[in-house]
Structure 1
Amino acid sequence: MWLFAVLIVLLMGGVAVVAAGRGTPMAEAYDDRPDALVPATGPLSADDLRRVRFPLAFRGYRMAEVDALLDRLAAEREAVEAADADGDAPRA
């Protein structure tokens, strides 16, 4: 009985040592969020807005609502781009 108790305590101590960073190190953390894929500078186009994807979080968001908003913004942007191409007065 005492032998098992000592073994369990040693095992827990070994786990604590590894978790504390001693021994074999854990793998490096990396950023697994998707890239937004929008240009950092310049105006955004409708295609830029369609490519945007937001990462999910623990207390996330309703994806359908965000997608609907992005579709609406992209349609509005296309209308502005079409008006600019036709030579109408530019809108913001």
Structure 2
Amino acid sequence: MLTMLLYVLVVAVVGALLFVVAGVVFGRSEELGPLPGETTLTRLPARGVTGADVRALQFQQVVRGYKASEVDWALEQLGAEIDRLRARLPADDEERAGVAEST
């Protein structure tokens, strides 16, 4: 009987420790509250995004977030690509876009 009680006690202690470790590692699974209307966590213009806009993006730093050097590298690559593509477009691209929207 004593062996069975000891076994149950050890299983309960191990289970409690696993629960605590999982809670620390994975968090409490709390959902974030909704953002107020018309707000975002990052800022980009709705139209006419440039490489400078992408390079200026900033993300919140969190304990379990993305590696900052990788995000910076990706943003630099994306910004350079946007600049290359915009350089290939005709200068009157925005004027044509305005005409297309009005028709």
Q: Name which structure has the greater RCO, CA cutoff 8 Å, separation 6+.
A: 2
Per the normalisation by structure 1, the TM-score is: 0.49
Per the normalisation by structure 2, the TM-score is: 0.44
Task: Considering fraction of residues, name the structure with more helix.
Answer: 2
